[in-house]
Amino acid sequence: MVVAVAVAIIVLQATPSSAFPTSAHRDYALGAPGDGAMASADLDRDGRADLVVADSDANALYVFRQGPYGFAPGPDIAQTLPGKPRALTLAEVNGDGIPDIVVLGPDVAWILPGRGDGSLWAPEAIPAPGAIAFGVGELSGDSAWDLVTLTRDGIEVRFQRPGAVVYPEDADWNVSAPGARALTIADVNGDGRADIAFAAPFEFSLLLQTTAGVLRRTEGPETAVAGIR
Ligand SMILES: [Ca+2]
Ligand SMILES: [Ca+2]
Ligand SMILES: [Ca+2]
């Protein structure tokens, strides 16, 4: 995979006619092995967005840290995974203020907590049998981010337990979603609470978190489909 990057570079020229810095726009490519997913966040907290790409051939993640002059030609950090990565997202799931990486693998989700310098702690596995899509967000009203997976049978929500990043093996909530193929977690109505959006061919559905810890379907009569534990 080749990652295309566009950056604005300040060029200092020594000629007398350019006593002031001028700005130039340059596009260039980063060599990123594999053909996997990618996401961006400021992993090392230096104010510059960094990149993470998944290499499904090598069962690895590569972190590209953006420095003051852009990205190096190759990854700064390689992180081995126990299996093949299929999708990934960057989010702050363990409450320490450092972005973490959540990866969907075969029948499993891995949490790799960020260490704050771009490197990662070892992956923690959460069983996710049959998961084809996933997302993370706060769905129970306790400020700890929860894990949502989509299988052929429906949506499964696992609440993060207090303490270290721990999710139960069995789902806390199961929501019917026949035919759904894609899922994302986002605050779709701007009320500050995360909602679940999922899609089947020619059909799009929402589960709105109307009050903390309660999701409601938006199609048809509004009915609560899950409640506070
Ligand atoms: Ca950064
Ligand atoms: Ca974190
Ligand atoms: Ca929660």
Distance CA 133, CA 131 (A): 6
- pLDDT tens for 95-117 read 899 999 999 999 999 999 999 99
Neighbours of ion ligand 2 (CB under 5 A): 92, 94, 96, 98, 100
Q: Which tens digit of pLDDT belongs to each residue from 148-191?
A: 999 998 999 999 987 778 899 899 999 999 899 999 999 998 99
pTM score: 0.81
Ligand nearest to the CA of 52: 1
CA 212 / ligand 3 centre spacing (Å): 10
Mean pLDDT for the stretch of residues 20-25: 63
| Bridge pairing between strands 38-41 and 22-31 | unpaired
| Mean of pLDDT over the chain | 85
Give residues with Cβ within 8 angstroms of 37, minimum separation 6: 53, 54, 85, 86, 87, 88
Instruction: Judge contact between 90 and 100, C-beta under 8 A.
Output: yes
Distance 199 CA to ligand 2 centre (A): 29
Q: What is the C-alpha separation between 58 and 82, in angstroms, rounded? A: 10
Q: What are 105's two structure tokens?
A: 């693998």
Radius of gyration of the chain (CA): 20
pLDDT for position 220: 45
195-224 mean pLDDT: 81
Indicate the pLDDT class of residue 18, thresholds 50, 70 and 90. Answer: low
Q: Which ligand is nearest to the CA of 137?
A: 3
Residues 6+ apart with CB under 8 A from 5: 27, 28, 29, 30, 70, 71
Q: Cα of 67 to ligand 1 centre, how many Å?
A: 7
Distance of alpha carbon 183 from alpha carbon 137, whole angstroms: 12
Q: Classify residue 83 as exposed, middle or buried by CB count within 10 Å of its CB (0-12, 13-18, 19+).
A: middle
User: In the predicted model, is pLDDT for residue 192 greater than 90?
Assistant: yes
Ramachandran angles phi, psi of 9, nearest 5°: -115, 130
Distance CA 91, CA 101 (A): 6
